[in-house]
Structures are given as C-alpha cells and as structure tokens.
A and B are shown apart, each in its own frame.
With several copies, the nearest count.
Chain A
Amino acid sequence: MLEKKPKNIFVDGPISPVKIGEDIAHHQKKTNIGAHSIFMGQVRADAVEEATVMAIEYTAHQEMALAAMHEIREAIFVKYPLTCLHITHSLGVVKAGEICLFVFASAVHRKEAIDACEEVVERIKKELPIWGKEIFADDEYQWKGNRG
C-alpha cells in the first residue's frame, strides 16, 4: 500500500458535506471494508473578547505539507492494516460552521480504522505546515494557535 508520489490534500475553500456523502458512497464497492472512521474539523464562531470569529483563512507551505502528509500516510499504512485513507484540508477562507479538515480511514475491523483516523488527525495538527488566521468583522484578525 506504500505510495511513491505525494497526493494532493488541499482544496480551495470549505469541504462540502455533499462531497463527503459521495465519498462515503464510493466505498460501497469495496466489500472488504467493515468499518469507516471519519474526523471532520469545523470552523467555530469563537468569541474573543468583544469579537466573534467569522472565518479562518488557511495558508500552507504546500510542498512541505504534502511531503509531511506523504510520510504520515506511509507510516500509518505500515502501522495499521487499512483498506484506504483519504485526507482533505482547506486552503483560503472557510467560514464559521464550514468544514476545513476531513480524514476518512477505512479498514476490515473497527479498531484499526478508529485508531488510524485519530493518529492521522493528531499528526496533521502537529506536523503539517499549515496556518490559520482567524478573521473577525471589520478586517480584524488573530493567528490561530492549536491546543495540545
């Protein structure tokens, strides 16, 4: 299952729930799959002092991010017997309530799918050179920090 070329994971703007439904549907042909584990990150309208987050604008060092993601994929496929693993991350503006990260792990049994999905999410947050800029009304902003 090792792949040679880094796959793209980036899309412009939010990730569509309809697209996620379609991705799930496409896995119905793979009748060796018994379990899917999905994680989705959604932009929160957090209140910061007087202001509320309207959107997050994501930028990345794309080349390094895809190389890091490739390494993570390879390590995950060595560690867990997955059937497949799909990752999508937004770039650009994602409004509050919209989805910015989609991790989709599938396996014969649930434990592998669940553990792999969680590990991928943690590693994406820690290891991918991606930055979020929280945008408030009136062109105010602050740079997002990831909690542990």
Chain B
Amino acid sequence: MMEVRLMSYGALTDITGSGVLEFSIPQSVISAAELMSLLIERYPALEGKTFRIALNERFVTGEFEVGSGDHVALMPPFSGG
C-alpha cells in the first residue's frame, strides 16, 4: 500500500476539497487509467470530469511508479490569464 498525498485544483476542489488528502494506492506501478478508476471509486463525482494527473510535479500518462509520500495532483483544464 502506497500512501500518497493527493491535492486537487480548480473545479475539482468542489469535489475533493482544496486540502491535502491521504490516498492509498495498492500497487507501486500503476497506470493513469487505473489511478483514475481508484479516484472515481473514492470520489464518484470525478466520473466524467476532464483532468490530468501529475506525480511529484510532473504530468504522468501510461504506467508510472509511485511511492509512499509522493504527491499526486489532479488538474482540470487550465483557465489562467
């Protein structure tokens, strides 16, 4: 079990809150799609939302390695400027 620190941004904070959340990931190698399924299980309102995942401040796609204490950020489309 990897215990990561989850943060979400923008409209997603309406679903998860804006604070740092604890989140358990059952395996150390996971794909972005699998992580999304886990996230939707825990936060059903994420279903159908468009967002990208960053691990330790870098966007991830496909499979990646994750460790306890890592930062996972959920980021919806940007709207700066």
Contacts and interface: CB of A to CB of B under 8 A. Distances in A.
A59 B9 contact: yes
Interface stretch (A25-33, A70-78, A111-119, A129-137): A129-137
Contact of B81 (A63, A67, A125, A143): A125
A61 B81 contact: no
B61 to A, nearest CB: 15
B: interface residue count bin: 10 to 19
Contacts of A60: 80
Interface in A41-90: 41, 58-61, 63-65, 67, 89
A130 B75 CA distance: 9
Interface residues of A, number: 27
A28 to B, nearest CB: 17
Contacts of B27: none
A100 interface: yes
Nearest to B58: A64
A100 B81 contact: yes
Nearest to A65: B80
A146 B79 contact: yes
A131 B73 contact: no
Contacts of A144: 79
A108 interface: no
A61 to B, nearest CB: 6
Interface of B: 9-11, 14, 18, 54, 57, 73, 75-81
22 contacts: A58-B80, A61-B9, A61-B57, A61-B75, A67-B57, A89-B80, A101-B81, A125-B80, A125-B81, A128-B80, A128-B81, A129-B75, A130-B78, A130-B79, A131-B10, A131-B79, A143-B10, A143-B11, A143-B14, A146-B78, A146-B80, A146-B81
Interface of A: 41, 58-61, 63-65, 67, 89, 100-101, 121, 124-133, 143-146
